[in-house]
Amino acid sequence: MRLQFSPKEEEILKVISECAHELQIDAYVVGGFVRDKIINRKSKDIDIVCVGNGIELAKKVAEKFSSASKNINVAYFKNFGTAQIKLKDIELEFVGARKESYRRDSRKPIVENGTLEDDQNRRDFTINALAARLHTNHFGEVIDPFNGLEDLKNGIIRTPLSPEITFDDDPLRMLRAIRFATQLNFKIEDNTYQAIAPLAGRLKIISQERITAELNKIILSSKPSLGFKLLFNTKLLHQFFTEMVKLQGVQIKDNLGHKDNFYHTLQVLDNLSENSTDLWLRWAAIMHDIAKPATQRFEEGHGWTFHGHEVVGAKWVPKIFSRLKLPLDDKMKFVQKMVLLHLRPISLTKENITDSAIRRILFDAGEDLESLLLLCDADITSKNDQKVKRYKENLKLVLQKIREVEERDHIRNWQPPISGELIMQTFNIKPSREVGIIKDAIKDAILDGIISNNYDAAYQLMLEKGKALNL
């Protein structure tokens, strides 16, 4: 089999072929790029393995590109024997063929120079052990030592060598197996799958950053629930995300049960993924009910309750993000806001929708209102289709009311017309509790429709509240 390259890819790979010929070394395209070309999946990263010095080949290629006036960025990593060339739309990575051996306490291998066969033996899965020749007479010819082409055709994830050895050497490969199965909608071959759970504890030698990088790729797949079910069933999820594991299960008392919050969360995540590719909104879906086990209570005559789970869950977000090495910046604050507010739009559908309640959700959600409504819509799950239909129709009524109030009152991203500085200046006071009381009173009065949203009305109320506080 020969790979069919695009004109741009062929132009680049022909340059690499010429340079390898001049250096009298064999060079190959390997791994994910070969796999993705065969299954017609887009890929911008091309890995080049040569039987020789990868950095030397990269330097020769960089010289050719530079002389052809191509806009390139080049980086050499001598400690690792690798080099990287970034073109406009494609990133090339060069390395010499290697063979590896591992110590049990580390995923960092002992590396030696090797042959192409050695390099393919160290690959994680048969579908990633494919190589394509760059030799002039065999350009694009695929080398497939482990029947990776057959596994690609049948949608199978399989290790080239014993899965126990492959996973024990580098436990991150267990997560990668699940990530590829999720992204490609492939099945993990039985022996490969059965080897994961007994070795799940080996994840402890992997940095959390590497684990989370794989987890995020699973979350960004078209149907993330596939990956999370595999993570749960293989006990990998138990190694780094116990809060999510605790969502699983149903308690029954007096013949009253509740949803299995783990599988509900996965359905919400899948629902959301049909309408948004935003990683952090997907994280909000994962976290929206995370505190339900901690807030679960049984009330006689009523059943199971989870009062305040949105407040507790929002408080947990920074702790969980910190442990998982996720960013503790505006992305974390966005997830925290979504968790805190996720019940609000749904609760509006269960009561007479007042302008005051609409103004408050507009104020609290601000520029993230559309994201919140996407999350709320995804959160409508039930085996009762009529119930789902009714809630979705009610949510549409809320959205219509939001648009009407926003058009009239312009509350979103609104700031009250009286600042803390003006309050302190008017009453000749320093920053204090009283300043906050007056600001909140003005904000609440405007949101509740008691006074108009203008400076004069707010200033008059400020004077009244100041007088009441003996300022």
pLDDT at 107: 53
Would you say residue 395 lies in a domain? no
Residues 116 and 167 in one domain: no
pLDDT band for position 108 (cuts 50, 70, 90): low
pLDDT at 413: 65
Q: Which of 240, 267, 299 is the last residue of a domain?
A: 240
Nearest-5° Cα angle at 201, 196 to 205 = 110
pLDDT surpasses 90 at 402: no
Would you say residue 1 lies in a domain? no
pLDDT at 79: 81
Would you say residue 455 lies in a domain? yes
Q: Which of 240, 265, 287 is the last residue of a domain?
A: 240
Residues 129 and 169 in one domain: no
Percent of the chain with pLDDT over 90: 62
User: For residue range 131-178, what is the model confidence (pLDDT) as tens digits?
Assistant: 999 998 899 999 999 999 999 999 999 999 999 999 998 999 999 999
pLDDT at 377: 93
Q: Which of 207, 240, 273 is the last residue of a domain?
A: 240
Would you say residue 96 lies in a domain? yes
User: For residue range 78-94, what is the model confidence (pLDDT) as tens digits?
Assistant: 888 899 999 888 999 99
**Residue with more model confidence, 369 or 258:** 369
How many Cβ atoms from other residues are within 10 Å of residue 417's Cβ? 17
Query: Do 174 and 163 contact (CB within 8 A), yes or no?
Result: no
Residues 144 and 171 in one domain: no
Q: How far is CA 270 from CA 61, 283, 384, in A?
A: 44, 12, 18
Query: Do 96 and 54 contact (CB within 8 A), yes or no?
Result: yes
Would you say residue 55 lies in a domain? yes
Percent of the chain with pLDDT over 70: 94
Q: 305 - beta bridge partners? A: 297
Residues 199 and 147 in one domain: no
Residues 43 and 91 in one domain: yes
| CB contact set of 255 (below 8 Å; sequence gap of 6+) | none
Sort strands 187-188 and 156-157 into parallel, antiparallel or unpaired: parallel
Tokens 């006074």 belong to which residue? 451
pLDDT at 105: 58
Would you say residue 319 lies in a domain? no
**One-letter identity of residue 152:** L
Residues 149 and 116 in one domain: yes
Residues 117 and 64 in one domain: yes
pLDDT at 196: 98
**Residue with more model confidence, 259 or 109:** 259
Nearest to 175 by CA among 239, 132, 113: 239
Tokens 């058009």 belong to which residue? 407
Average pLDDT over residues 428-447: 91
Residues 106 and 20 in one domain: yes
pLDDT at 449: 83
**Residue with more model confidence, 158 or 357:** 158
pLDDT surpasses 90 at 336: yes
Residues 199 and 144 in one domain: no
Residues 147 and 184 in one domain: no
* Dihedral pair phi/psi, residue 357, rounded to 5°: -65, -40
pLDDT surpasses 60 at 109: no
Average pLDDT over residues 291-308: 88
pLDDT surpasses 60 at 2: yes
Q: How far is CA 231 from CA 96, 155, 224, 238, in A?
A: 34, 19, 11, 8
Would you say residue 295 lies in a domain? no
pLDDT at 350: 66
Sort strands 27-30 and 131-133 into parallel, antiparallel or unpaired: antiparallel
The domain that contains 96 carries what CATH number?
Answer: 3.30.460.10
pLDDT band for position 110 (cuts 50, 70, 90): low
Average pLDDT over residues 407-425: 81
Q: What is the pTM of this model?
A: 0.86
pLDDT surpasses 70 at 225: yes
The domain that contains 159 carries what CATH number?
Answer: 1.10.110.30
Residues 126 and 192 in one domain: no
pLDDT at 128: 95
Rg (CA), the chain: 29
Tell me the residue length of the chain: 471
Domain extent at residue 221 = 155-240
How far is the C-alpha of 194 from the C-alpha of 188, rounded, in Å?
9
Query: Do 100 and 107 contact (CB within 8 A), yes or no?
Result: no
Q: What is the 3-state secondary structure (H, E, C) of the chain?
A: CECCCCHHHHHHHHHHHHHHHHHCCCEEEECHHHHHHHCCCCCCEEEEEECCCHHHHHHHHHHHHHHCCCCCEEEEECCCCEEEEECCCCEEEEEECEEEECCCCCCCCEEEECCHHHHHHCCCCHHHCCEEECCHHHCCEEECCCCHHHHHHHCEECCCCCHHHHHHHCCHHHHHHHHHHHHHCCEECHHHHHCCHHHHHHHHHCCHHHHHHHHHHHHCCCCCHHHHHHHHHCCCHHHHCHHHHCCCCCCCECCECCCCHHHHHHHHHHHHHCCCCCHHHHHHHHHCCCCHHHHCEEECCCEEECCCHHHHHHHHHHHHHHHCCCCCCHHHHHHHHHHHHCCHHHHHCCCCCCHHHHHHHHHHHHHHHHHHHHHHHHCCCCCCHHHHHHHHHHHHHHHHHHHHHHHHHCCCCCCCCCCHHHHHHHHCCCCCHHHHHHHHHHHHHHHCCCCCCCHHHHHHHHHHHHHHCCC
Average pLDDT over residues 261-265: 96
Query: Do 180 and 173 contact (CB within 8 A), yes or no?
Result: no
Nearest to 263 by CA among 381, 391, 347, 390: 381
Q: 30 - beta bridge partners? A: 47, 131
Would you say residue 65 lies in a domain? yes
Residues 111 and 65 in one domain: yes
pLDDT at 385: 84
* Dmax (CA) of the chain: 93
Query: Do 224 and 237 contact (CB within 8 A), yes or no?
Result: no
The chain-wide mean pLDDT, for the chain, equals 90
Average pLDDT over residues 10-24: 93
Query: Do 57 and 45 contact (CB within 8 A), yes or no?
Result: no
Q: Please state the domain count of the chain.
A: 3
